[in-house]
Amino acid sequence: MGQLQDTVQALLAENKGLLAADESSKSAQKRFDALGIPCTDETRRQYRQMLMTAPGIEEYLSGVIFYDETIRQATDDGTPFPQYLQSKGIVPGIKVDKGLVDLDNFTGETITEGLDGLAERLREYYELGARFAKWRAAFSISDATPTQGSMHANLHTMARYATLCQSAGIVPIVEPEVLYDGPQDLSKAHEATESILKLLVQMLKAYRVDLSGCIVKTSMVLAGKQSGATSSPDEVAEHTLVVLNEAIPATMGGVVFLSGGQTPEQARDNLQAIGSRGKQPWPITFSFSRAVQDPAMKAWAGKSENVANAQKIYFELTKACAEARQGKFKANESGSTDNFVSASQDS
């Protein structure tokens, strides 16, 4: 195998998942403010250090997606975060897109920026230790959206990003997120997610991306929050796997799920239902953010005396998701975190 395939294999290793710790400073500010935690360079560093240095986390964590600020930070003893992760057998990654802006002529739709200067940034990130990257586009579902124009614009850009990553020796994670907060029913979510993923694959192939050295990060298929419907784990598993098997070639390196607005319990239970359905053409795991972080952040509350307890909660949540990806999670074994889990939301 080549370098890209080696990285993919490490990220999709059995019994492990990825941590999305790539929130911008602006996003971190909102989360810290909500809990009354001062949001400074140092408190953000302390928070990320708390997650990465959780005892034993390398047993269930294969990779961490950093933000530009985070990949340049270090532990208390001065070890750069990427080097610390590498010492634990965890692969460092980096979010390289520069966020969403309104897409001209397409009311209510967005385009992801960040291609300008990306080749140079990727070279620097590689030197800092990053071996995979992430680029996110977001699609809302309504009677009028997503439009073909929006899909083409975003997925063309995403494929171009993927080519630049592979040229730099970095595995691209392509993330076309279907937003969960809309009015779509399960059928509409199924249709939109399948259309987006099929077009994504077409674009990747058109740009000659090596699919075996690429990972798709996708939404699970479930009814939107405004629909008034609740999708059961079995429904989510059935529709999600049908979509993936229709859209994603067997040659793709792997599939990872975002949790996109589900509670930690929802994300875990839906992952469990998917994992219970056995092996698929590609390895599947999770790349969650708040579904494994929020309860730990609440327990930490910015105080050093809370670090050990917060790390234990984060460890248990990550372990539960690692078990769920294989269909092996048992609630009574991780019940100690349920009081934190139920109150949290992921985005």
Q: Where are the domains of the chain?
A: 3-341
- The mean pLDDT of the chain is 94
pLDDT at 290: 86
Dist CA 24 CA 320 (whole Å): 26
**Using CA atoms in the order 301, 307, 310, 315, what is the torsion angle rounded to 10 degrees?**
150
Known catalytic residue at 120: no
Evaluate if residue 70 carries a pLDDT over 50.
Answer: yes
Dist CA 79 CA 106 (whole Å): 46
Give the model's confidence band at 334: pLDDT under 50 very low, under 70 low, under 90 confident, else very high: very low
Q: What is the pTM of this model?
A: 0.94
pLDDT at 320: 97
Across 70-84, 256-270, 290-304, 332-346, least confident range: 332-346
Note the residue count of the chain: 347
**Using CA atoms in the order 33, 35, 36, 37, what is the torsion angle rounded to 10 degrees?**
-80
Evaluate if residue 346 carries a pLDDT over 90.
Answer: no
Known catalytic residue at 217: yes
- The residue among 15, 16, 71, 22 whose CA lies nearest residue 290 is 22
Give the tens place of pLDDT for each residue, 207-216: 999 999 999 9
Give the model's confidence band at 345: pLDDT under 50 very low, under 70 low, under 90 confident, else very high: very low
pLDDT at 115: 98
Dist CA 176 CA 173 (whole Å): 10
Asked if omega into 172 is within 30° of 0 (cis), the reply is no
What secondary structure letter does DSSP report for 344?
-
Give the tens place of pLDDT for each residue, 30-42: 999 999 999 999 9
Question: Which class is 3-341 in CATH?
Answer: alpha beta
* Residue scoring higher pLDDT (118 or 1): 118
State the average pLDDT over residues 14-38. 93
Dist CA 129 CA 312 (whole Å): 27
Dist CA 189 CA 207 (whole Å): 27
Dist CA 147 CA 145 (whole Å): 5
pLDDT at 341: 47
Across 85-94, 216-225, 316-325, 331-340, least confident range: 331-340
Evaluate if residue 335 carries a pLDDT over 60.
Answer: no
Evaluate if residue 230 carries a pLDDT over 70.
Answer: yes
State the average pLDDT over residues 18-36. 92
Evaluate if residue 91 carries a pLDDT over 50.
Answer: yes
The residue to which tokens 């740009």 are assigned:
207
Which token pair is 347?
């985005």
Which residues, at least 6 apart from 147, have a Cβ–Cβ distance to it below 8 Å? 106, 109
Give the tens place of pLDDT for each residue, 290-310: 899 999 999 999 999 999 999
Q: Cβ of 188: how many Cβ atoms within 10 Å?
A: 18
pLDDT at 347: 34
Provide, rounded to the nearest whole percent, the portion of the chain with pLDDT above 70. 95
pLDDT at 131: 98
- The residue among 64, 66, 69, 68 whose CA lies nearest residue 43 is 69
Evaluate if residue 281 carries a pLDDT over 80.
Answer: yes
Give the model's confidence band at 26: pLDDT under 50 very low, under 70 low, under 90 confident, else very high: confident
Evaluate if residue 175 carries a pLDDT over 70.
Answer: yes
State the average pLDDT over residues 182-209. 96
Which token pair is 233?
């784990």
Dist CA 11 CA 61 (whole Å): 9
Dist CA 121 CA 204 (whole Å): 21
- Catalytic site residue from 175, 235, 238, 316: 175
> Which residue(s) pair with 257 in the sheet?
218, 286
Give the model's confidence band at 344: pLDDT under 50 very low, under 70 low, under 90 confident, else very high: very low
Give the model's confidence band at 332: pLDDT under 50 very low, under 70 low, under 90 confident, else very high: low
- The residue among 56, 65, 53 whose CA lies nearest residue 19 is 65
- Catalytic site residue from 16, 188, 217, 298: 217
Please, are residues 237 and 271 in contact by the beta-carbon 8 Å criterion?
Answer: no
Dist CA 58 CA 229 (whole Å): 37
pLDDT at 23: 87
Evaluate if residue 221 carries a pLDDT over 90.
Answer: yes
pLDDT at 166: 98
State the average pLDDT over residues 255-262. 92
